[in-house]
Structure formats: structure tokens, C-alpha cells
Chain A
């Protein structure tokens, strides 16, 4: 294959597997939204008075956007990364001023005609883009403290703005970018530390006994030190880690008791099994579990799920759309959906590793992390193993901003990938 041929047969370089999964997930989402919010007065799939009608429009808009992206120059995304980032930041600030408050979060900018924009969704894309642009610059090594801090700032700034809305779910999404940093060379200790933090977070809140946890950490550190007593290099790492962990425990405790709002505390409490208020805050999760659990193996059939049909699960078409999948398509359907996601993220990793350009690779890891984080948190929430934080299920949940944001992310990747044999963009 020579270069010219590549240029001409542009569409043959497009990764059709990703496009196939993209279309499959969008269709599954559309069908399930149809079932979840079915309205007898507007039975048509494309009736614009209904959410499924609107979702159809979003899918069309998404596809058009995707095609436009494929027609653009690859260079464009790398070059305009700072601009996108800047626009996003401005939008995130605007939303704090003029945003519409829905469900306690000031996250939407009304666009008129019933459509509204959620800047935090776009922030995920532009942050990935700028992070890729920065880390792929010559002479920037993430292993160096300065670069690490700048990368952290790129991720942290939108997190901070979203936290102000406050939208805990979207904020946490950015923490998934640790995978990107890890892939680019950040010490595995950070990954371990993040895992440790999650464990400590749970323990701190659940046990609510600082002395016990801190004591346990010290004992654990001493055991590790004893086991590795021949290896002098381990000692400072362990001691630093211990100090960081203890600091983390105290800050979590402070955050939980002093900073978190009661409704956020309750959500965490429910997942950790501290309280089981199935009528109040735990209602969503309980009904969601009932919906999914009642699906059994083959599900109750399309439009046959009583939990779905009679709206026992609030926010069914958005954050809790996976209930409909679980209830009406059963374990079989849930496995197919999770299988598609797993295939998608592994495929993206594969695509990432075949890029010659670090920019494309870093960007690909970024969106793989974001998509994966969304899936695990969202599905985990519906089956009650993760605190219920409202983030959508990529491409399936109802919502234009979310669908458009994931569409852009994926199609930019496809575009970059289709050009992988071309020149390296800086």
C-alpha cells in the first residue's frame, strides 16, 4: 500500500468496528428509551414530543457531526485543543451564572426550544484533547514533577468548576484520567494509591473510627517493611505512602463530616450499607435493583417490564436506563451491552497503541478511560455497588449533550486513527 492509495481510499481506513459498536449502542439506547418513557398518545419512534423522538434527532445530529469530523483535517484538533479548552472553561463559568438548576445541579445552559446544553459533558472531550496536546509536546515528560503538575492542572481546573455546580458525578469522571498518566509513565504507585484511596474512603466512612484505621495502616506498613527489610529502597516509599494515606483518611473524615451535603452523605451511606432508607434516598437504587433483578436470564421482553412501564424507577431514561436493559432483556441483554462496552474500550486501547503520534495515543487512552469510568459507575450504581452519582451511560442514556459529547470523542479518534499512517501532528 502506498501513501496515495491511503489518501484516496479514506473511508477504508476508518475503524469500522468502533463505528459498528457506536451504532449498536445508540440503537440499543433508543429502543430502551422508547420502552422506558413510552407514551400511548405518541407511539411513534420519531415523535418529537417524546424523549425517544428527541433522542432520534440527537442520533441524527450525532451522525452528521461525526461525518463532518471525518471530513476535517486531523491537524485541526491538535491545533485547536487550547481553543476548545478555553471555550469549555468559559461555558463552565457561564453555567454557574445563568445555568438552569435541575435536580440540585446547576449544570445546564438553556438553548431554547426545549434543548439545553451541559458544558460538563463537552469538558471531558476538551480536557482529553488538551491533555493529549500537552503531554505529546516535545520535551514534556510526565515523570517530571513540573509536567506532572501542569497535567494535573489541566485535569483539575474543569473538575474544580464542575464541583462548584455541584456535580459530583461529572467531577469524579476526570479522576479516570489517571490511567492516561499511568500509561504515559507516571509511577504505578499513583495507581496503587488511587486504589488504596478508594478502599480507605470506604473504610473511613463505614467504620467511622479514625484510631482504628490509622492503627491498621501503621501495622500494615510495618509488616511490609518487615517483609522487604533487605530492600532499603522500599522504606521511604512506604513511609511516604503511609503519611499520604493517613492524611487522606483525615481529609476524607473532614470532608464527610464537614463538607459534604446531607443528600450526598446519604447516597454514600446507602451504597456502603450504613443506612437502608428504601423509601427515601435509597428508593431509586432499590427500585433499580428490583427492575434488574426481576429480568432473570432472558428478561421480561421488550416493553413488558412492569418496573419500566409503570415508572417505578425515577430518571429511568437518563441515569437509570440500564434498568430497562436489565429488566426487559435480562442477564443476556445486560451481558451483551457490557460486552459491547468492553469490546469498545479494548478496541480503543488497541487503536491507541497502533498510533505513531503520541497525541493520538494519549487522546485515545483519555476517551477509553472516560467511557470506561462512565460505564462502571453507571452500571455499578444501578445494581447498588457504587454510590448513586448521576452520570449517564455512554450513548445509551437519553440526553443530547452526553450523546453529542461521546460522538465527538469517538469520531475524533476515528479521524485521527484513519490518518495514523500520515504525518505526526504536534
Chain B
């Protein structure tokens, strides 16, 4: 054609090359680079989480202990926030501009693309005003949350409380929890967290470029609904729980009552207690701080964390073991001159009262220290004084079967083991073979190193009531609408004592209430079998009473400890009797002795603040003469009052055992 004809190929070549460049680039971003599909999904997908309602908790009669009330959280996705009237926004929420900036910064730090909580727990009224104008604040939205409410404010230490998840919780849960979620921190809220929290629902919404919802991703195929937490039925009886808390007000101590035929805990009082509603809502932090400062430690869960010397309430155990071993019979007698000589140590009876000739039944009824010291020495020296160590270990194992010295496996966090000393412990102090039955004689009467939680004490009463076995004590009776009962709670735990040995002991315990030390607490028409204890501690004695009732076909076993209140008969026994009667009859009758619940409700037995101090590690070794009635010359020349479960395994001489200790008054 013309002389530049060849140039068509150059032009065509350039065209082809440039198109290939475009295709290469397309190949790269469409096939090789995988990020863009993710970006596209990030653009369009919004996960809206639906918080499930936490499971309510009922008492054994289906009365509500804790339920939920809706509150509204204001959430923010910082990236979607567009300029808006911050002043108006702050006014609606009642916060300042600087506070606003601070929170917004925090949200950005968490994630600019994900929702985080901006303002927590608006009440329905505040929320109503805010909601009307929510559309003016792009990037902000609301999320309903259910908060716990406690209609009767009872059983705080049992219920525990929930709190916001920590970073550690989130990591541990494999990111199940999101910031701002709640999790059980203590009590049943913690131990049954998995059942209570339910399952969060998620909606995969698609939004357009202006963040307007445009329907569900894949028509909702991947959406899930929120499943409310399971309902828990607690074993507690709200009636006696309320009464127990009232009776224990202005006192330190604990009440634990168990149904012997099931192991269900009917009453779980820790005093002082607090109003669980204080730990809900916006003032939660301040209230909690106040409660932590309380010197009487309301967060201390006395039923399972406080360690008390069981005192006389322990006496039946050695007798039972001795009978089982064939060392004594119920008819074995002992002449009590008012004291007992163990080696060169004298164990006096209460007020050095001479009981004369006693057998098992009368020894229990009259709480004869001499008789039980005799039994204990016989047990220890059965294979000769030189074999004390092995007989002691044997004794220890038998006592251990009753649940002392180890956790009972309660369905609550932070349960303590109590303390049941081992022979090795004494070997360490006195060297191996350097100690005799007389050295540890105070164990015979529930003193010395022996420490038990109120739960363990109540469990022993269950075992006696059942003639030789107990069910694992538990606080949650059934889970969910199907009322599932854990199989472990249907297993009988035998303590290795034949049933016939219990009768003479129970005769004695009945006598304690009918005509013995606890006669003031007798309930007309109900045969209660009990044992008072006056556990010696530094300061005034702890008042202890353990019992079960009625004698035939027992329905309730109970342990009551009132700290620093003297004799068991004076404080603990009447309180126990009121609980027992209330539970069995739903009313409290007029007592022959004239005692009424009101006088106990009104009594203030709180120790002086000056003498009741928190000691972490500075407690002084206590002087020997602090042991007044029992000259128990055992290893520990000091008697720990209450020992915290947190102080596990620090049993060395001179080192403080107690977290909470009663200091002796200087002028005493």
C-alpha cells in the first residue's frame, strides 16, 4: 500500500502488549492475591452478637434467688463514626468531653473495625431518651445486656458475683468471651459458669457502603440465635437461709445445714454477709472496694474457707473408731475425777467438774474430756507406745474418711481442706519416735492442730445421722429444665463404721439436747441430737454446735459456729434449733427455756475492731497461757483461731497460721 505499511505491526504489537500487561495485573489481583476477597467481606459483613440471658438460680422450692433484668450498653465501631454533635451526645450520656475522648481512644485501641462497649448499663429510662437520637450518631448502637438482680438479697457467698472478663479469661476461653462480657467471678456464678452463661447468638449482617443493613449473609445460613443459660435449682431453702442470715447478723460465723439423705445443702450462711445487689450495676466497683475494706471480710466464705477447731463436736469420732476397732464397747466405763492424766499432762474437764463413772452415752451427754482422752490414748497405744506413729496414721486415715483434712468436693470454688495433722508433721517437730499419745492428746477433744470448716462439721453430722455414710454435699440440686442431677451426688460414701455403733452415740447426743448442755435449745415435739462445742481459740471461745433432727429418719444435719462467743450451748445451739425447727415445721414454737429468735437476731457479738485485725504474715506467736481450760501440750503451743484456706501447707512453728486472728486484749 504505502511505505509505512510495516508500522501496522508495531502498533498492533503495542496494543497486544498493553492488553497483556492489564491481564497480568488482573491475574495477580484476582487469582494470586487472596487479600481482596477478605477485604470485600470485611466491607460488607457485620457480626452482631446477641447476648444470651444468664440462667436464673432458684432455691429448692423454686423461689427465685437471682434473675436477670435488661440493661442497655452503648457500643461503638470507631471506623464508622462520622462527625456528630459530641456535646449533645455527652449530655445524653451524662459524661464530659474529656471522658468521651478517653473512651473513644480506648475503643480505637481495641479495634477500629470491631464493636466495643462505650457506655455500660444504661437504665431503661436513660436509654429511652438516647435511643430516639441514636440515628444522629453513626457508628454507635445499642446492645441489650441482662444484669443480675437478687430479689431477697440472700446467700451472697453462695451465689457469688459476675464481673467483666479479663484479658486472661478471654485468652483462656479461646476468644469465646468478648470485651465487656460478663463471667462468674466467685460462688456458683463461677463454678457453674459453663451452664449459666448460655450460648451467644450471632447475626451475620451485610451492610452497604453507608453501613445500612442489607439483610443476612447467605440468607442467615450462618446465623445463630442466643440460647439462654440453664436454670439452676439450688439445694438451699430460702426460708431458713433468710432466717439464718438474720440470726447471724452482727456476728461472725457460719451456718451449714445439709439434708442427710441427699447431701443437699439447705442453708449456707457466712456472716458477715453483704447485699449481692451491691455488686451489680454501675456502682459495682465502688461498692466492691468498700466491701474489701470491711475488716470483718464479708467476701470471706466462712462455710468453706474458715478453719475452726471442732472442739467437743469432734469427740464422737474417736469413740466410733475405737468401737469399730474393738478397743472399747459402748459399755466400757471410765471414772472421771474431773480431769485426765495423759502422761504428765493433765486434761481437765469443763470447770474441772467430776463426772464420776461414765460410759459412752453419758460421756457424750456430759462432754467428758477424760473419757475421750482415755479412748484416744487406748487407740494410740494399742500396739504399744513405741508404735504410736503407725497407730496415729491409722487413726488419721479413719478420721479422714469422715471428710476431715481434705476437700469434700463442694461445687463451689475456693473450698478449704481444714487441717488433719499427719504423723510426719509431729516427727518433724519432735523427731521420729519422739512423741507419744500424751503429746497429741488434745486431738482427742477436737483441739490442737485439728481444724475443720463448718461444711466438714455439718457433713460429719450427716454421716452420724445416716449411721455411717454421707452423700457428697452440694449446693446445686439440679441443672436446667430437665433437672439433671450429677451422678456423683448419688454415690454413698461409707466411712467404715458399722451402723450399730452409732446408736449409743446418738443416745448421748439426744441427751445433750434433752437434758444436757444444750437443754435450753430443746424444741418441743422434735427430737434433736446434738453436741455442743466450746472451741478454744485465742480470745473468747468459738461457740460451736452440731446436730441433726429428727432422730428417726433425720431430715436436717447442721453445724453452727459463732466466733468469740463463748460456750456452744449459749449461742450456737439456740441458733441451730431455730433453723431446724423452721425447716421442719416452717414456724418457731415457744420454748420452755423462753429463748426467742429475736434476742439472737438483735444480739451483737462482733469483736472489737481493735482486737480483730487482719493479719497476713505479721502475727506474733501467741503466749502459751492463752490455753485456759485444756493444757494441751501438743506441738502447736498456739491455737489458731481461724485459718484461711489460702494459707495451705505453711504449718511451721512460729509461723503464723492465721489470716484472720483474734488478738488478745492487752488488758486481759
A-to-B contact residues, CB < 8 Å: 179, 182-185, 188, 191, 287, 289-297, 306-307, 309-312, 326-327, 330-331, 334-335, 338, 341-342, 345-346, 349, 352-353, 361, 365, 368, 372, 375-376, 379-380, 383, 385
Contacts and interface: CB of A to CB of B under 8 A. Distances in A.
Given A294-B37, A306-B206, A385 B12 contact: no
Interface in B1-56: 1, 3-5, 7-8, 10-12, 14-16, 18-19, 21-23, 25-27, 29-31, 33, 35-37, 39-41, 43-44
Chain A interface, DSSP helix/strand/loop, else mixed: helix
A342 B16 contact: yes
Given A295-B30, A306-B40, A307-B40, A376 B214 contact: no
Contacts of A296: 30-31, 37
B37 to A, nearest CB: 4
B43 A182 contact: no
B15 A310 contact: no
Contacts of A368: 11, 15
Contacts of B37: 293-294, 296
A293 B25 CA distance: 10
B208 A292 contact: no
A307 B7 CA distance: 43
A307 B43 contact: yes
B226 interface: no
Contacts of A383: 22, 25-26, 29
Nearest to B26: A334
Contacts of B10: 182, 188, 191
Contact of B40 (A184, A191, A291): A291
Given A307-B40, A311-B208, A289 B29 contact: yes
Contacts of A375: 19
B36 A293 contact: yes
A293 B30 contact: yes
Nearest to B36: A293
Contacts of A353: 1, 5, 8
Contact of B15 (A309, A330, A331, A345): A345
A17 to B, nearest CB: 16
Contacts of A191: 10
From B1, B11, B29, B209, name the one whose CB has the most chain A CB atoms within 10 angstroms. B11
Contacts of B35: 293
Interface of B: 1, 3-5, 7-8, 10-12, 14-16, 18-19, 21-23, 25-27, 29-31, 33, 35-37, 39-41, 43-44, 206-209, 214
Contacts of A292: 26, 29-30, 36
10 contacts: A179-B14, A183-B4, A306-B40, A306-B43, A306-B206, A310-B44, A331-B31, A375-B19, A376-B22, A383-B29
Contact of A293 (B18, B21, B33): B33
Contacts of A295: 30
A326 B26 contact: yes
A395 B379 CA distance: 107
B15 A342 contact: yes
Pick the 7 closest A-B CB pairs, nearest first: A293-B36, A310-B208, A294-B40, A306-B44, A293-B29, A294-B37, A331-B30
B22 A379 contact: yes
Contacts of A289: 29, 36
A375 B44 CA distance: 29
Nearest to A142: B4
Nearest to B211: A310
Nearest to B18: A376
Contacts, number: 122
A349 B30 contact: no
A293 B19 contact: no
A183 B11 contact: yes
Given A294-B36, A306-B40, A335-B23, A184 B4 contact: yes
Contacts of A310: 43-44, 206-209, 214
A361 B93 CA distance: 74
A267 to B, nearest CB: 18
Contacts of A335: 23, 26
Contact of A326 (B12, B30, B207): B30
Chain B interface, DSSP helix/strand/loop, else mixed: helix
Contacts of A179: 11, 14
B491 to A, nearest CB: 57
From B4, B5, B29, B33, name the one whose CB has the most chain A CB atoms within 10 angstroms. B29
A184 B2 CA distance: 9
A295 B33 CA distance: 11
B413 to A, nearest CB: 47
Nearest to A182: B7
Contacts of B40: 290-291, 293-294, 306-307, 327
A330 B208 contact: no
Nearest to B19: A342
A395 to B, nearest CB: 16
A291 B29 CA distance: 10
B523 to A, nearest CB: 75
Contact of B209 (A297, A311, A327, A361): A311
Given A183-B4, A307-B44, A290 B39 contact: yes
B36 A349 contact: no
B23 A297 contact: no
B31 to A, nearest CB: 6
A331 B206 contact: no
Contacts of B33: 293
Given A307-B44, A380-B25, 7 more contacts: A185-B3, A292-B29, A296-B30, A306-B206, A312-B43, A335-B26, A342-B19
A210 to B, nearest CB: 29
A342 B13 CA distance: 11
Contact of A297 (B5, B22, B30, B207): B30
Contacts of B31: 296-297, 331
A346 B30 contact: no
Contacts of A326: 26, 30
A346 B11 CA distance: 9
A51 to B, nearest CB: 17
Contacts of A312: 43-44, 208-209
From A287, A306, A365, name the one whose CB has the most chain B CB atoms within 10 angstroms. A306
Contact of B26 (A291, A331, A352): A331
A379 B33 CA distance: 18
A294 B22 contact: no
A331 B31 CA distance: 8
Contacts of B41: 294, 306
A301 to B, nearest CB: 13
Contacts of A341: 19
Nearest to B11: A179
A287 B36 CA distance: 9
A330 B12 CA distance: 26
From B7, B15, B206, B208, name the one whose CB has the most chain A CB atoms within 10 angstroms. B15
From A183, A294, A330, A372, name the one whose CB has the most chain B CB atoms within 10 angstroms. A294
A338 B4 contact: no
Contact of B25 (A291, A306, A349, A385): A385
Contacts of B16: 342, 346
Contacts of B8: 183, 349, 352-353
A233 B209 CA distance: 61
Contacts of B7: 182-183
Contacts of A342: 15-16, 19
A322 B217 CA distance: 25
Contacts of A376: 18-19, 22
Given A292-B36, A294-B37, A346 B44 contact: no
Contacts of A352: 8
Nearest to A314: B209
A372 B26 contact: no
A291 B206 CA distance: 15
Contacts of A185: 3-4
Contacts of B23: 334-335, 338
A363 to B, nearest CB: 15
Given A289-B29, A292-B30, A296-B30, A372 B15 contact: yes
